[in-house]
Amino acid sequence: MRTSRRQGCLLLALLLLTGAAQAQDRSQAAPGTTSRVADTLLSPSRQLPEIRVTERRPVSAATEQKIREKDFALRPHSTTWEILNNLPGLLAGQHAGGGKAMQYFLRGFDNDHGTDIAIFVDGVPVNMVSHAHGQGYADLNFLIPETVEYVDFYKGPYFTMWGDFANSGTVNLITKEDTREHSLQALGGFFNTMRYTNVLSPRIGPLQTLVANEVYFSDGPFKHPDHFLKYNFFGKFTLSPTSDSRLSLWTSLYTGDWDASGQIPLRAVRSGLLDRFGAIDPTEGGRSDRETLNLIYTATPSQEESWYGQLYFSRYRLRLFSNFTFLRSDPVRGDGIEQLDSRLLFGGRLRYSRVWTLGGLPVHSTLGVETRNDDADVGLFRQARRRRFATTTKTNIWQSSFSGYMQHEFFLREWIRLITGLRGDVFLFDVDDRLPADATDGIRYQGNTIDGIVSPKASLVVSPFLDTTSLWRATDFFLNFGMGFHSNDARDAIQRNGTPLARSTGGELGVRTHLWQRLDLAAALWILDLSSELVFVGDEGTTEASGPTRRWGVDFETRYQVLPWLFADLDLTYADPRFRVTGEAIPLAPTLLLQGGITAYFTDHFSAAIRLRYLDDRPANEDRSLTARGYTILDFIVNYRWRNLEASLHLLNFTNRDWRETQFATDSCLRQEVGVDPRCPLEGGGDGIPDINFVPGYPINLRGGLTLFF
């Protein structure tokens, strides 16, 4: 009854919103924004030397790229989870009912929910600092996939404009200003999955608008259904006040509610005690919402200079119920926890770019300043069946950062560019304890501190064959160096031995080429060191020591047009992640990742693709005694359009592989083990039994949808 009521409300709400939006008239799409740098360099009006450019987008690293909407059109992309899994070398997985932030793997990093990967939407930070569940928590559920125009994807800490968390990489999802056609989509599939979306783009006089709605519901394959329900609204309004300026404002509203089966111990499944889609504590789950405003102003007063200004504001809330160790600490009431995060997040940035000459050499210089401010109430509570019975921590956190950077790109010759940059960041941490006076068992945090860090960057780009007719004329070589950092939780930063900011240092040697007008190749050899720091564990309200680490690896990408209608692609990432002092494994750090597929465009209206995703086995703990098993997933996608109607069919995991989407090494106790195994004593507080706790990946999954364009 609960499910049917929800489904009816979902469909009714979407139809009402669609009907209201359709009252607007459709007109021509506004032109998209374009880069001004190449035009500026080629402009004769300022007596700058002529620089030869090609149709390729200039990049400063072999693995930097822009992935447009058409690049993932024939890949699963009904959720932001699926969009991220289309990025070369990046893997995202879910382990708590669909509404929790994903777990991100990139370049030998298990980034957990975002500790060392920076994620933005149009420059609005997604990562949450000093979050109740973990540092860098990045929840993208508020983004509607149909509103994404392209993704800027950067690997490594070599890019001056990105600061906190930008170590393994940075993802900036850019939203559309308009769409060529209105659309209304209905999608359904296994596990009671339903998704309804509409995208409208009316023009009202000089104002270009984009309005989108999404309603999503799924029970998942679990014995205790997820009941995951989310609603999204996105509205973007773009205006050109003058011929050389642009003003855009967008707002998004998101709310989500879900149950979860949590992470289950492998030993319980192998013994037959538990089905792999079962649950030890089916009361896990949560609720979350986020409301965002984002204002962006760009101006190009001349061909040599440009301005970029941004202000953003978000209101965010999360209430998360989890149970990772079951009955290890409390055999009577269980080890359930509740994590609460309620915050206001606001900030902005101002960036100025100019092309000038230095000793006859063209130089493209950029200066920027940024600020971010979080006012967060965070808490950790003990609970049973979602009812609190004790408070572990409760604090108010005010965290601010102020950043400045400069970058100079020197065009030494037509075939060589030198990019140098320097970034400085200052962080202020202020923690106010809010525990009740009678909470004798709680952990109190009170204090403030300030810390800063300077991060130099440098890149050399060499294109030695520009002036020849050689096969290799579209070949670039890259040498990159950069220092980056991530901030730690404010509750750790204020401690006597806390580490507010953790340094990363990385380098990369890469090459990218385009051959025979049909083959694209890119390869990079990289290394990245991360300094020692104390990591705050949000699930326990305590800190955990971690030594310095080193990761090195190889990235390889290829795209090949086999026939005029047939395309193949393959991305490979290998990494060797270790602790520097002991040489032990970094738990759950990915070592080998493959992504690829074959895409066929039989006609303009009919296309199909087979996609592959592979993750190798990897150590789950430092001494490699536990292994996180890898997997190979194959998906099949078909799209067919007839006039204004498009049908899509997604057959996911069509080999029905038994796989684990996310997994952890966890010491836990089950009801059958309490008082029987000495590691799980009756009075609680035992060491627990070490095991792999995992969330199963979905079995074979069929989804079909119809999209009406008008």
Where do we find the tokens 């051959």? 515
> What integer pLDDT is reported at residue 346 of this predicted model?
98
Q: How many CA atoms lie within 13 A of 517 on its CB side?
A: 2
Q: Please give the single-letter amino acid code of residue 619.
A: P
> What integer pLDDT is reported at residue 56 of this predicted model?
55
> What integer pLDDT is reported at residue 8 of this predicted model?
45
Cβ–Cβ under 8 Å, residues 645 and 665: no
C-alpha to C-alpha distance for 253 and 287, rounded to whole angstroms: 14
Cα angle: 489, vertex 495, 498; to 5 degrees: 65
Where do we find the tokens 């693995």? 63
> What integer pLDDT is reported at residue 50 of this predicted model?
41
Q: CA–CA distance from 527 to each of 90, 514, 700 (Å)? A: 17, 25, 38
Block mean pLDDT (10 aa), the chain, length 710: 42 37 35 36 39 58 84 73 89 84 94 94 97 95 95 96 97 95 96 97 96 97 96 98 96 97 96 96 96 98 96 98 96 96 98 95 97 98 95 96 98 95 98 88 93 98 84 92 96 89 97 93 97 67 78 96 95 96 92 95 92 96 94 95 96 96 94 96 95 96 96
- Token pair of 705 as six digits: 């949808």
Radius of gyration of the chain (CA): 26
C-alpha to C-alpha distance for 328 and 332, rounded to whole angstroms: 10
Give residue-wise pLDDT tens across range 41-88: 333 333 444 444 444 567 899 989 888 877 776 677 778 888 898 899
Give Dmax (Cα) for the chain.
84
The separation between CA 240 and the C-alpha centre of its own chain, rounded to angstroms, equals: 31
| Closest by CA position to 696, among listed 629, 617, 651 | 629
Q: What are phi and psi of 694, to 5 degrees?
A: -140, 160
Beta strand pairing call for 566-579 and 549-563 = antiparallel
Q: CA–CA distance from 363 to each of 284, 312, 393, 458 (Å)? A: 56, 31, 52, 15
Cα angle: 46, vertex 51, 53; to 5 degrees: 130
- Token pair of 64 as six digits: 């930097």
Written as one string, the DSSP assignment of 381-427 is EEEETTEEEEEEEEEEEEEEEEEEEEEEEEEEETTEEEEEEEEEEEE
Beta strand pairing call for 228-239 and 627-628 = unpaired
Cβ–Cβ under 8 Å, residues 460 and 478: yes
Q: CA–CA distance from 128 to each of 159, 497, 700 (Å)? A: 21, 23, 34
Cβ–Cβ under 8 Å, residues 615 and 595: no
C-alpha to C-alpha distance for 17 and 23, rounded to whole angstroms: 11
C-alpha to C-alpha distance for 407 and 422, rounded to whole angstroms: 7
Beta bridge partners, 503, equal 485
> What integer pLDDT is reported at residue 539 of this predicted model?
63
Cβ–Cβ under 8 Å, residues 61 and 155: yes
Beta bridge partners, 612, equal 596, 634
Cα angle: 367, vertex 368, 369; to 5 degrees: 145
Q: How many CA atoms lie within 13 A of 266 on its CB side?
A: 19
C-alpha to C-alpha distance for 568 and 578, rounded to whole angstroms: 33
- Token pair of 506 as six digits: 């990385």
Cβ–Cβ under 8 Å, residues 318 and 362: no
Give residue-wise pLDDT tens across range 508-546: 999 999 999 899 999 999 999 999 765 667 567 666 767
**CATH number of residue 124's parent domain:** 2.40.170.20
| Closest by CA position to 237, among listed 199, 204, 202, 208 | 208
**What is the pTM for the complete model shown?**
0.91
| Closest by CA position to 636, among listed 600, 673, 678, 594 | 600
Q: How many domains does the chain have?
A: 1
> What integer pLDDT is reported at residue 421 of this predicted model?
98
Helix residue ranges, H only, 170-270: 266-270
Cβ–Cβ under 8 Å, residues 661 and 625: no
| Closest by CA position to 382, among listed 313, 464, 442, 302 | 442
Cβ–Cβ under 8 Å, residues 424 and 452: yes
Task: Find the domain containing 46 and state its range.
Answer: 2-30+39-709
